[in-house]
Chain A
Amino acid sequence: MSVIPSRHKSLVLLTGVVVLQILLLAVQIKRDSQGRLIRVWTVGAVSPFEKAGTSGIGRIRNVWNHYFALQNTSRENEDLRRENGSLKLQLTQLQGKAAEADRLAALLSFRQSHQKVPMLGARVIGASADTASQTISIDRGERDGIRRNMGVITADGVVGKVIEAYSDTSQVLLLTDKDSGVGAMLAESRIQGPVGGTGEPLLAMKYVANDDDVKMGEAVVTSGMDRIFPPDLPVGTVREIKAGSPFKQIRVRPAANLERLEEVIVLLTLQPLELKKAAVPAAEAAGSKTSGEAVTEKR
């Protein structure tokens, strides 16, 4: 049975396995997004741990903030520590409530100014296992009404779009990913140009002619041309402007803190959106984070 010499068996196995995976790649390229079942299984198997981990980290943080961190101060003076610890605990609770109230107020304001848009709050439970791509996992999926290509934002601004919706979780492509893009325009001059990711923290605004006047620090907002995001949502601010050929090279800092997302809002519609101008601009309304449940509204 040993047609292949044993010393070459592993090499043959290697070749076979690599060829199989190349075929797998080829099938996916031809039939966009096939082979989805293994993704569903894997994500389904991992997401409960991610959810549990998120919850666990929150608890550990609470325990650390409310107990261990305060315990350190007790070394100096036990009585003073108790009193101080108690006050700190109260202060932390009050600050937490105040921050939560701020966030809810910001979200309410944001929500009121975008009443016609169905939205859903979601918690970030994971990031991409690929070191190069910029995606996150959220704890809401098809059962909650989420579909591919829905926009994802925070009260600060645009985050990205849903690229895969599973039953209970979804994956979101962040604006900073190289494959990402959003229809955008400069807030003051209304000059339009798509903004896309570069794989780095700053985004790139394309197709702005060298003759056009662009100011440093100028706000960049959505144009609505991508039919995913409504117009006038904050995308970012201009941080670098260089003359290029034939277009300006403009770098934009994202309005939303994409490196530290904990909660996001999913725009539950695939229809082109038209929004009234916000009474309170979303950027100003942004407290810091969003509250998942506070903005939940299904179509």
Chain B
Amino acid sequence: MNDAFDLRIAESHIEVHKFHGGAIVIATALALLVQTFVPVYFSKFSIIDLPLLLTIYFGLSRRNPSTGLLLGMVIGLLQDSLSGPTVPLGLYGIAKTIIGYLASSIGARLDTEHPAARFALTIFFVGVHQGLITLTRRLLLAQPETFFTVHLAIAAAINAVIAVALFALLDQLRKS
């Protein structure tokens, strides 16, 4: 995927951010590595979904639905691949494709630079993401899953807090 694009969106007052070459690829690879590596030493870390946070961030920043959904698809399929045979390829792929699309579409219409906006949007996206996973499991895999649990609420809040800090860090990768 090309890191630099020059799509001119209708809402020209919303800034479209570009990133340094390879930033997205490296950030994605690191996120997947950390996601599989850290829980070996700190099992509670698995409540954080770093690949999802990256999908949201790059979607919100780049504001191009096509690249957003394709990036989400790639990240999701890689996450599926690293999750073992109990997770069929496409489970996270579908969810993150849609999240990438939604994040880019919302990013193209709203200013999502403020930490409070990022916090709220992350909670929203974590909820939608889990909803999509549950829906896919129920409809396609015939696995009984509940749509809402206390664990999901806690996970959404924790991911949102992490997102605020992580997004600020990822802002440094932008071309000024």
Note all chain A residues with C-beta closer than 8 A to B77.
21, 38
A171 to B104, CA, bound (A): 34
Q: How many chain-A residues does the 8 Å CB contact rule pick out?
A: 50
| Docked pose: A38 CA to B87 CA in angstroms | 13
Q: CB-CB < 8 A to A57: which residues of B? A: 41
What is the distance, in angstroms, from B85's C-beta to the closest C-beta of chain A? 5
Q: Could you name 23 residue pairs across A and B whose Cβ atoms are closer than 8 Å?
A: A10-B66, A10-B69, A10-B105, A13-B65, A13-B69, A21-B77, A22-B90, A25-B90, A25-B94, A42-B78, A43-B81, A43-B82, A46-B36, A53-B37, A57-B41, A126-B36, A126-B40, A127-B46, A130-B79, A130-B84, A132-B133, A133-B87, A173-B84
Please name all residues of chain A whose beta carbon is closer than 8 Å to the beta carbon of B49 when the two chains form the complex. 131
| Known contacts A14-B98, A18-B94, A25-B88; is-contact A133 B73 (Cβ 8 Å) | no
A25:B140 contact, CB within 8 angstroms: yes
Cβ-defined contact, A21 with B97, below 8 A: yes
Hey, which chain A residues are within 8 Å of B14, CB to CB? none
The answer to whether A137 and B140 have CB atoms under 8 Å apart is: no
CA A284 to CA B93, docked complex, whole Å: 45
A24 at the interface (CB under 8 A from B): yes
Chain B residues within an 8 Å CB radius of A38: 77, 81, 89
Q: Is B27 an interface residue, CB under 8 A from the partner?
A: no
Task: Tell me, yes or no, whether B33 is within 8 Å of chain A by CB.
Answer: yes
Residue B116 is within 8 A (CB to CB) of chain A in the complex: no
Quick one: which of B88, B93, B101 has the most chain A CB within 10 A?
Answer: B88
**Quick one: which of A229-280 are within 8 Å of B by CB?**
259-262
Say yes or no for B120: interface residue by CB 8 A criterion: no
State the interface size on chain B (CB cutoff 8 A).
49
Q: Residue B90 contacts which of A11, A21, A164 (CB distance < 8 angstroms)?
A: A21
CB of A211 to closest CB in B, whole Å: 29
Interface string of A29-66 (1 = CB under 8 A from B): 10001010011011100100110011001000000000
Q: Which of B52-82 contact A (CB under 8 A)?
A: 64-66, 69-70, 73, 77-82
A residues near B, CB below 8 A?
Answer: 9-11, 13-14, 17-18, 21-22, 24-26, 28-29, 33, 35, 38-39, 41-43, 46, 49-50, 53-54, 57, 124-133, 135-137, 163-164, 171, 173, 177, 179, 259-262
Q: Could you say which residues of chain B place their CB within 8 Å of the CB of A11?
A: 65
Q: Which residues of B contact A46 (CB under 8 A)?
A: 32-33, 36, 82
Q: Contact: A42 with B90, CB < 8 Å?
A: no
Across the interface, do B84 and A171 meet the contact criterion of CB distance under 8 Å?
yes
A29 surroundings in chain B (CB, below 8 A): 88, 140-141
Q: Which of B48, B73, B81 has the most CB of A within 10 A?
A: B81
